[in-house]
Structure 1
Amino acid sequence: MGTPLGAVALLLAKRSEGRRVLLPGRWIWRQRTMKYSSTGRSNITKVLIANRGEIACRVIRTARKMGVKSVAVYSEADRRSMHVEMADEAYAIGPAASQQSYLSMEKIIQVAKVSASQAIHPGYGFLSENTEFAELCKQEGIIFIGPPSSAIRDMGIKSTSKAIMSAAGVPIIEGYHGEDQSDQCLKEHARRIGYPIMIKAVRGGGGKGMRIARSEEEFQEQLESARREAKKSFNDDAMLIEKFVDTPRHVEVQVFGDQYGNAVYLFERDCSVQRRHQKIIEEAPGPGIDPEVRRKLGEAAVKAAKAVNYVGAGTVEFIMDFNHNFYFMEMNTRLQVEHPVTEMITGTDLVEWQLRVAAGEKLPLSQEEIALKGHAFEARIYAEDPQNNFMPGAGPLVHLSTPPPEPSLRIETGVRQGDEVSVHYDPMIAKLVVWASDRQAALKKLRYSLYQYNITGLNTNIDFLLSLSRHPEFEAGNVHTDFITQHYSDLLPAPSATAREVLCQAALGLLLQEQVRTSAFREQSDDQFSPFASCSGRRLNYFYTRNMTLQDGKNKVAITVKYNWNGSYSMQIEGKTFEVFGELCNEGHYTYLKCSVNGVISKSKLIISETTIYLFSMEGSAEIGIPVPRYVSAAGTEGIQGSTLAPMTGTIEKIFVKVGDKVKTGDILMVMIAMKMEHTIKSPKDGTIKRVCFKEGDQANRHASLLEFMEEEVDESKSK
């Protein structure tokens, strides 16, 4: 499904006009240069997608619809990925680390030449806002599907963009965007502006290199953390300081420009609800924004685009206060992750617009022809643990089932059941996008669809998204960037005991699965009268009673099960008896449990692994453990006494302590980089460092011991 990079130079040497070059498994037609029509428009017949995952699949679908061939690139970690299988051609470009693969400009340009791709679509992230890459494409005669490099440069440097916007008459927020980057200078400007302030990477984006300092006491720590993350993400640790607007809304406008000076806006999106300064749910249009404010937002965004001669898809982001005053924040010079909600309310395909504009066509619609219809939501489904500060995760998608796609429901993803969410890249699994005629109907559809999005094998934020979508303040449209913090206890309540009725369902599912396996054993066994070929409760006597134990969180629950003559069960939990019966049924590829508990009937999707029973229904989901024998669990990884364990697999970025150092609870021990984010490891207790298990630059696996503490000496005089 591609060719080693070592063969690229050889293939380039063999290229000639109209010649075919044999690659492993296929013939590919080679063209030296792209052709132009008499109208001056380029004829894009093949596009290389310099990205991976969901956005690569998204671009491939539109390219296929337009009759444009697609070329994928992939790292060693993505060899069997969905985007590789979907593309017409695919090429290996290096190791899993993005710096050696997806961020390698030279490798991607080489593949573009070898594959005779006339254009490169950068997607979002990676090289999408890289000025040098856009320039390199131009030098090599390859169309970069994005704005001119000058626009990327001007808008990519926040201090420059603020100056340009101010000159263009776009409202901006107070801040410092100067060249003096000394700690003292930045601290003085923070004091002048007044706390709380936002520290931002000048070349930032996607929440990287961004920190809030609410007081002068925490300024230095937040500044250093932002600089480290910015250096890692953008190779530039220059910072700017802005006044932090308390409980603002994050409202952005989709703009589009062509090569003839035309520019339009396709209305706004509200992206206020965020965690770690990253968006988690978006909607279009913004709730509560009246037509006049909408028009002003759009016109300001078009001013911003025209000020930098913008071409292609872009997003102008604004901070909006509770009076609907708005201020320019930044411009993302690429297609946004959340672009599908704009497509849903405008009936457009923005990737198709990108390809057409890049080929030299005019905008497909004028401003007057762009109509807003209905309301759309996008929920980002992540591999992360909301109960653990949204810690990103990685691992296999053991089970993955989704609601059926339809015109008003889109699932944008780059993974399938059995695929693995890699530690090397962003932990987003999919984007669930819904549309309806109004906001309340769209919200109802979103909730219904989330109930049908079922995943096992790793932690996800699906239950959190359901909790968020059900919150009365969210339902009312009262959104802002502090929404999750303000409503944290409502959105993430402490885990409670599972209802005993649900435990009965889990026990029944286990019993019925046991029956299925026993029946299969009976059919395959020569001894049809073996007592092991029956699980009807009649192995030893007519009515059979057995004890079961299930794991509900950290608690073990004892269940006494009595088999009744009619095939039902009487289950006793904590002294209360439940009458239970039901059956398993197969629908499509999935198994469902139809169950009655004390006369209340339910239906749940049932998935049973070696250690867990999963129940998914329109009432919610449940995860019940099957206790592992003590001799097996003793070999588990519950942590080593006196150690600090890695919360995820990642790279040790910075170590702040050494052997012999005395630390207090909350002191910063080290910083890890994982899933493109910086994570600070703090001391869980007062103590003395006995051993540092890794060096800076090492990769640590999840639950690996990072540091060890010296054992505390017991003062015998105090214990007497």
Structure 2
Amino acid sequence: MIRRLLVANRGEIARRIFATCRTIGIETVAVYSDADAGAPFVSEADYAVHLPGSAPSATYLRGDLIIAAARKTLADAIHPGYGFLAENPDFAESVAEAGLLWVGPPAKVIEVMGDKVEAKALLAEAEVPTLPSWTDPELVDEFPVLVKASTGGGGRGVRVVREPAALGEAVSSARREAFGAFGDGDVFCEKYVEGARHIEVQILADQHGGIVTLGERECSIQRRHQKVIEETPSPVVTPELREHLCSAAIAAAQAVGYVGVGTVEFLLTPAGDFFFLEMSTRLQVEHVVTEIVTGVDLVRMQLVVAEGGKLPMLAPPPLRGHAIEARLCAEDPSTAFLPATGVVHRLDVPGVTGRFGILSAPGIRLDAGVEPGSVIGVHYDSLLAKVVAWAPTRPEAARLLASTLARARIHGIVTNRDLLVRTLRHPAFLAGQTDTGMLDRHPEVLAPLLSSVDAVRLSCLAAALGSAAERRELAPQQPSVPSGWRNVPTVAQTVVYEGPAGPVEVGYRLHRTGALAQWWVRAVDPEELDLAGLGQPGPTNDHPPVAVISASPTLVVLDVIGILLSVHLNRVGSVTYVDSVEGSLALTELPRFPLPGPELADGALTAPLPGAVGRVLVVPGQRVDAGELLMTLEAMKLEHPVHAPAAGVVTELPVSAGAQVDTGTVLAVLTA
């Protein structure tokens, strides 16, 4: 029996495993890096051991340090979570050699299934359908192909190549990214199928020959080959197809002598054929939806099997309704969804009925790795939380999840929340047309929820009214006098915010009665900003008539042509976070007397996100063509290319390989 378990992972999955351990009486041990010292999972463990450093290579990928931490805390078992060392056979073997219990399949099984090329060959012998693949990129003779990392998962080390000329760079880039994420840079090429679905089958196998499947998951909604939304059951898998998929998954497990909780992943073609992709010898991020519809705690099953116990079921349990999971990630829509950093000021998800555990009734489950105050840095992946809806039917689950995410108040960090909501509400998703190319075919889902001109203007007006109310509450004298150095109530109040599309001026004028007489929101040319001036009212004929019902620092209620609109506000420093039923907005109030900032040289290329400079492929004085790769940035386990926006000459190159840079740091200067 396991008495004390060390979790060799971080964030949301560590908290998830701890939750099950608490319910069955197992003590827990966390390991944490410098960057994670204040993370919630650290304080939730019974014991915690510090791993010096922040980079994964110095912390969560150091198996020797993790085993030493287990010995130091007298832990008798190690759970790897997912990612990092979860599918590293050498680490699994080292855990066993140290006399500790490994919560996962045997090392030899991880080794076989971790090599995706060898795994495909083995399962082809077991008559499981597989796609054509090439271990030598030079032998690829048909396109398009998918370049894939031989080990690991999570969409890292994956590239789609549609023409021979692009294959070399794609292979090199995938190798670097795979090595940075998994410590193994081997890749191979596989035939790419257009319009395919990603379907996976959850399996449980004990040490006594028992194998049970828990249905399929649909994981086709993806960006950059990373899953975004997952659900079970799939909207297109019939009972007959489910039986075939589960039979193939069992055959795959039996072919390698699998033991533990695992996932067999398939590609389902538009014609209805399916092919083996790979087998994840660990807990999947999306295991939550399977837990909800089956009522089976998969972490508990892992622990039961690791202790040598038998599976408590002989056949698959019935599926209960429909569950959909959305991955809430720190990503910036304004920079093509590059990972984002910052501090989480607020993470309020309404209607949550459970966290990290089985739900007793339909509702919302939240598995979050962060809390208010958490710092999102550049060292790890961008996943903040998994929000899951469970309902009797798929349309109800989609509606519930979309509404919950839309009403969530997420402040301090930009996220992919609007993309999730628009996808869940899109007719193609609701119709079950969810292949891996759906987001590429429907770019409209990339638009922010708060997109109508009137909704944006009303949010800006509410922010200005709330800020004025806060200043009046804090005023030491004459709180009834309007702010802005004015003692005449009828003179216009103005404030300038930096918004998503640039600076905007918000102005309003009050009657002597305090009622709103006039208001405007207009874009401002940054070169013509006069923040110290009074400003002039903009045109008002395109603004809807508005009456202010009430205004406080946290809530403004407006009457818009007879309809009440409640706007919630949260001011942190100079930033006001605005939430309403229309959508959310972050507005940064610009100072009236701004200090002059550094001027960027013409042609300066700046870092789109914090990270480390990877490869630098140019030198000062070099001529480059438009689109040429200049350098790469490494952040949040991904490699981001920096291309030349136009032809020119590299006149300045202030960074070198390995340098740490912040958002906005000048990387290079190009001269025409």
Give TM-score scaled by structure 1 length: 0.85
Bigger shift: 685-694 or 284-293?
A: 685-694
The Cα of 1:547 is off from its aligned counterpart by 4.2
Q: Hey, what does 1:153 align to over in structure 2?
A: 111
- Is 1:627 the counterpart of 2:582? The answer is no
Q: Hey, what does 1:687 align to over in structure 2?
A: 648
1:170-319 matches, cutoff 5 A: 170-177=128-135, 181=136, 186-188=137-139, 190-191=140-141, 194-319=142-267
Structure 1 residues 335 and 558, CA gap change in structure 2 (3 angstroms)? closer
AA aligned opposite 2:234: G
- Matches of 1:504 and 1:213, distance apart in 2: 45
1:413-428 matches, cutoff 5 A: 413-428=368-383
- Matches of 2:310 and 2:276, distance apart in 1: 27
Q: Which has the higher contact order (CA 8 A, sep 6+)?
A: 2
Structure 1 residues 508 and 409, CA gap change in structure 2 (3 angstroms)? closer
- Matches of 2:429 and 2:13, distance apart in 1: 28
- Matches of 1:508 and 1:205, distance apart in 2: 45
- Matches of 1:552 and 1:393, distance apart in 2: 17
- Matches of 1:652 and 1:513, distance apart in 2: 40
Structure 1 residues 306 and 118, CA gap change in structure 2 (3 angstroms)? same
The Cα of 1:566 is off from its aligned counterpart by 4.3
AA aligned opposite 1:656: L
The Cα of 1:568 is off from its aligned counterpart by 2.3
The Cα of 1:243 is off from its aligned counterpart by 1.0
Deviations 1:284-312 (A, max 9, x none): 11112111101111111111111111111
AA aligned opposite 1:672: L
Aligned partner of residue 205 in structure 1, secondary structure: coil
Structure 1 residues 45 and 664, CA gap change in structure 2 (3 angstroms)? same
- Matches of 1:257 and 1:640, distance apart in 2: 61
Structure 1 residues 58 and 584, CA gap change in structure 2 (3 angstroms)? farther
1:641-660 matches, cutoff 5 A: 641-660=602-621
Structure 1 residues 210 and 512, CA gap change in structure 2 (3 angstroms)? closer
- Matches of 1:538 and 1:580, distance apart in 2: 24
Aligned partner of residue 269 in structure 1, secondary structure: strand
1:470-485 matches, cutoff 5 A: 470-485=425-440
- Matches of 2:321 and 2:58, distance apart in 1: 43
AA aligned opposite 1:450: L
Whether the 8 Å contact between 2:109 and 2:258 is mirrored in structure 1 is yes
- Matches of 1:388 and 1:292, distance apart in 2: 43
Aligned partner of residue 352 in structure 2, secondary structure: coil
- Is 1:48 the counterpart of 2:11? The answer is no
The structure with the largest alpha-carbon Rg is 1
AA aligned opposite 2:302: Q
The Cα of 1:538 is off from its aligned counterpart by 13
Whether the 8 Å contact between 1:403 and 1:453 is mirrored in structure 2 is yes
Deviations 1:41-78 (A, max 9, x none): xx111100000000001000110111111101101111
Among candidates 389, 396, 399, match of residue 343 of structure 2: 396
Whether the 8 Å contact between 2:198 and 2:436 is mirrored in structure 1 is yes
Q: Hey, what does 2:45 align to over in structure 1?
A: 87
Structure 1 residues 495 and 112, CA gap change in structure 2 (3 angstroms)? closer
AA aligned opposite 1:517: R
Q: Hey, what does 2:529 align to over in structure 1?
A: none
Q: Hey, what does 2:271 align to over in structure 1?
A: 323
Q: Hey, what does 2:531 align to over in structure 1?
A: none
Structure 1 residues 624 and 236, CA gap change in structure 2 (3 angstroms)? closer
Whether the 8 Å contact between 1:645 and 1:705 is mirrored in structure 2 is yes
The Cα of 1:139 is off from its aligned counterpart by 0.7
Structure 1 residues 362 and 521, CA gap change in structure 2 (3 angstroms)? same
- Matches of 1:585 and 1:533, distance apart in 2: 14
Q: Hey, what does 2:356 align to over in structure 1?
A: none
- Matches of 2:25 and 2:451, distance apart in 1: 55
Structure 1 residues 386 and 497, CA gap change in structure 2 (3 angstroms)? closer
Whether the 8 Å contact between 1:448 and 1:618 is mirrored in structure 2 is no
Structure 1 residues 390 and 561, CA gap change in structure 2 (3 angstroms)? closer
- Matches of 1:694 and 1:501, distance apart in 2: 42
Counting aligned pairs with the same residue, the percent is 36
- Is 1:385 the counterpart of 2:332? The answer is yes
Whether the 8 Å contact between 2:491 and 2:510 is mirrored in structure 1 is yes
Q: Hey, what does 1:168 align to over in structure 2?
A: 126
- Is 1:517 the counterpart of 2:478? The answer is no
The Cα of 1:570 is off from its aligned counterpart by 2.1
Whether the 8 Å contact between 2:570 and 2:576 is mirrored in structure 1 is yes
Structure 1 residues 94 and 539, CA gap change in structure 2 (3 angstroms)? closer
The Cα of 1:330 is off from its aligned counterpart by 0.2
- Matches of 1:451 and 1:352, distance apart in 2: 33
Aligned partner of residue 510 in structure 1, secondary structure: helix
1:484-503 matches, cutoff 5 A: 484-488=439-443, 490-493=444-447, 499-500=453-454, 502-503=456-457
Aligned partner of residue 91 in structure 1, secondary structure: strand
Among candidates 663, 672, 696, match of residue 657 of structure 2: 696
Whether the 8 Å contact between 2:331 and 2:339 is mirrored in structure 1 is yes
- Matches of 1:139 and 1:104, distance apart in 2: 16
AA aligned opposite 1:581: V
Aligned length: 644
Q: Hey, what does 1:140 align to over in structure 2?
A: 98
The Cα of 1:498 is off from its aligned counterpart by 5.2
Among candidates 452, 459, 462, match of residue 407 of structure 2: 452
- Matches of 2:597 and 2:488, distance apart in 1: 38
List gaps (5 residues or longer) in structure 2. 354-358, 521-538
- Matches of 1:668 and 1:398, distance apart in 2: 37
Q: Hey, what does 1:25 align to over in structure 2?
A: none
Structure 1 residues 403 and 692, CA gap change in structure 2 (3 angstroms)? same
Deviations 1:485-538 (A, max 9, x none): 1112x112499975345524532443344234323435xx5xxxx4x6533999
Structure 1 residues 312 and 51, CA gap change in structure 2 (3 angstroms)? same
Whether the 8 Å contact between 1:652 and 1:695 is mirrored in structure 2 is yes
Structure 1 residues 241 and 629, CA gap change in structure 2 (3 angstroms)? same
- Matches of 1:344 and 1:166, distance apart in 2: 33
The Cα of 1:254 is off from its aligned counterpart by 0.7
The Cα of 1:434 is off from its aligned counterpart by 1.0
- Is 1:335 the counterpart of 2:335? The answer is no
- Matches of 1:248 and 1:436, distance apart in 2: 26
- Matches of 1:427 and 1:649, distance apart in 2: 13
- Matches of 1:433 and 1:494, distance apart in 2: 21
Alpha-carbon RMSD across the aligned residues, in angstroms, is 2.3
AA aligned opposite 1:635: G
Aligned partner of residue 575 in structure 1, secondary structure: coil
Give TM-score scaled by structure 2 length: 0.91
Aligned partner of residue 75 in structure 2, secondary structure: coil
AA aligned opposite 1:575: T
Structure 1 residues 495 and 272, CA gap change in structure 2 (3 angstroms)? closer
Deviations 1:549-604 (A, max 9, x none): 45554455555523234432122332226232122479xxxx33322123221123
1:519-668 matches, cutoff 5 A: 519-522=473-476, 525=477, 530=478, 534-535=481-482, 540-541=487-488, 543-554=490-501, 556-573=503-520, 574-576=539-541, 578-584=545-551, 591-629=554-592, 631-632=594-595, 634-635=596-597, 639-668=600-629
Deviations 1:210-234 (A, max 9, x none): 1111011212221221222223333
- Matches of 2:172 and 2:485, distance apart in 1: 70
The Cα of 1:707 is off from its aligned counterpart by 1.7
Whether the 8 Å contact between 1:377 and 1:443 is mirrored in structure 2 is yes
1:72-151 matches, cutoff 5 A: 72-151=30-109
Whether the 8 Å contact between 2:84 and 2:182 is mirrored in structure 1 is no
Q: Hey, what does 2:668 align to over in structure 1?
A: 707
